[in-house]
Structure 1
């Protein structure tokens, strides 16, 4: 069994994002390409974003710190610390409205595993 502090990882990755030319940081917390379930802590500096991309399976975003905007097509959803956003099964993007850290949980569909 392994125990991780999401709070400590969020602090660490927010510092990475602050000092990175990409203005983001990420670390896989659980799983990976060989697993169906993957959890990744993503930190974004204010104003930075993850460009529109497809969803590899069912996914949620748990906002650990800050505020974010999840957008898909004409719709968008704002989230703040403590919120859980359901990622749509459509191309979407994520923008940090202020320095933010989220826990992305993805359960890949069997046809996309690997």
Structure 2
């Protein structure tokens, strides 16, 4: 097993986000399409946005750099470096208030096969 250095990921993805037309870049560090648990580093340049979407299950956001806003239809939360947010299960959006990066940890809800 090879460790992933989050500081290096933030630098690399931050550079990629700065050059991307949508202002974002991401890399899944753990998990995959069939895994229950996933961990993804997402970098966003200031003003970039992840539009309205729903969580696939329980999820947290650990801010690694910068300042972000998470908003639902009725509430908004701001978080800065070092903050850990529990993401709402309802539809929400994420906006980078400064150049920012976060570690998204998600535990997807799995449906049991009917027997």
TM-score (norm 1): 0.95
Gaps of 5+ in 1: none
Aligned alpha-carbon RMSD (Å): 1.1
The equivalences for 1:74-85 within 5 A come to: 74-85=74-85
- 3-state DSSP of counterpart to 1:111: coil
Q: What displacement does 1:19 show?
A: 0.6
User: In the alignment, what sits opposite 1:100?
Assistant: 100
Runs (4+) off by over 3 Å: none
User: In the alignment, what sits opposite 1:47?
Assistant: 47
Q: What displacement does 1:73 show?
A: 1.2
User: In the alignment, what sits opposite 1:68?
Assistant: 68
Number of equivalences: 112
* Residue deviations 1:14-35 (CA, integer Å, cap 9, x gap): 0000011111000001001110
Query: How many angstroms apart in 2 are the aligned matches of 1:35 and 1:60?
Result: 16
Gaps of 5+ in 2: none
Q: What displacement does 1:13 show?
A: 0.4
User: Greater Rg, structure 1 or structure 2?
Assistant: 2
Query: How many angstroms apart in 2 are the aligned matches of 1:37 and 1:75?
Result: 27
